[in-house]
Amino acid sequence: MAPSKAQAKIILVGFVALFWGSILTDGDKIGVNYGIEGTDLPSADEVVSLMKKNNIGKARIFKANTDALKALANSGIDVIVGVGSEELQAISSKQDSADAWVNDNIVAFYPATNIKYIAVGNLVLCGAHEYIPYLLPAMTNIQTALQNANLQNSIKVSTTHNMSIIAGIDFPVSKGALADNVKDTAMRSLLNFLIAHNSAPSQGTFSDDIKDSMRSILEFLSYHGSPFMANVYPYFIFTGSRGSISLEYALFQPTSPLVDGVRRYTNLFDAMVDTIISAMENLGYPDVPLIVTESGWPSFGEDVATVENAEAYNNNLIKHVLSNAGTPKRPGRGIHTYIFALFRENLKPGPTTEHDFGLFNRDQTPAYTVNFSP
């Protein structure tokens, strides 16, 4: 006998809770962003060996890449696969296109390659506004394609955002650098986020211009048990703070905490994450889990972009994430985090710092010392 609507709802809620629980407890290894915008990069097989050697347990690839997906097979590494923003229009317009994408890039490799998430588009609400009309329909079609392949319970669909979705940040801070349409590094001085005492994490709200789109995306994520994906870079917030945020606070080092009611924030990373969580709460979605799809610190290029600071930030980030301490708003709930990036990529566009977020040089030697298993 088919379950009643009430019973079906209970079953759905129970499954979602179980899946969210797996997101929040499977935080025993750090993740990395595996990009390929560099000359003389190692082969995909060599990259996977490097990750396994260093106990890196999660990888994000920005677009489906056959060599990478094959190399990741039977590695034990969890994978996020990206759908390029330029693909959204075609995928959103025809279910057949979404089915073909999933069959070619997911079904062909899963389960040998442990694909956990599909990130549909990249920072679409953060400056790539021409793709906004296609984003949610593309996510919906990819979700349907997963259902058609009976993979909807194993692989979750989401999309990435950066901190420009938060009210008070006036231009996109992109994947490791400024977005392509914001090249002038002097504009960073306009950034005025979490400064002094007037921008507490509990007051986080989404920008008005994307709030309707964000509400629809959150409804999708909540219904399907998918996580919110956020790029969280204390580096950019610090460099734009005009001295109002201490370097120690950005690097997870001892300093005066930010007090927000009963909560105390001892580092900028937690404050940024909880600002996003507050913004989701303010739209009526308090329980959507959050994955940090990018975070990092450049080791060369500007005043605080040094080897010493990059080493301090990434080691302290790994230690914090793997402790499963969570944040003041979600204590004890681990956050899957992917460091940007695995390699120093000399062909990436943008300022010099964009090339130097990598944990490793292109010859696989460490850019500096990182303990991936503190």
In angstroms, the CA 284 to CA 178 distance is: 30
156 is catalytic: no
Listed in sequence order, the residues at least 6 apart from 213 whose beta carbon sits closer than 8 Å to its beta carbon are: 125, 132, 135, 136
Per the structure block, which two tokens stand in for 88? 């959204």
Query: How many residues belong to the chain?
Result: 374
User: Which is the catalytic residue, given 29, 116, 175, 345?
Assistant: 345
User: Which is the catalytic residue, given 58, 175, 294, 329?
Assistant: 294
> Would you call 219 helix, strand, or coil by DSSP?
helix
H or E element: which one contains 13? helix 5-25
345 is catalytic: yes
- What string of DSSP letters covers 135-157? HHHHHHHHHHHHHHTT-TTT-EE
294 is catalytic: yes
In angstroms, the CA 163 to CA 119 distance is: 17
> Would you call 53 helix, strand, or coil by DSSP?
helix
Residue 341: cis peptide before it, omega within 30 degrees of 0: yes
- Cα–Cα distances (Å) from 33 to 60, 154, 359, in that order, read 5, 21, 10
Contact 121, 135 (CB under 8 A): yes
User: Which is the catalytic residue, given 29, 116, 175, 348?
Assistant: 348
What is the side-by-side strand order in the sheet with 290-295?
Answer: 156-158, 114-120, 78-83, 58-61, 31-33, 337-339, 290-295, 228-231, 160-161
311 is catalytic: no
Catalytic residues: 294, 345, 348, 354
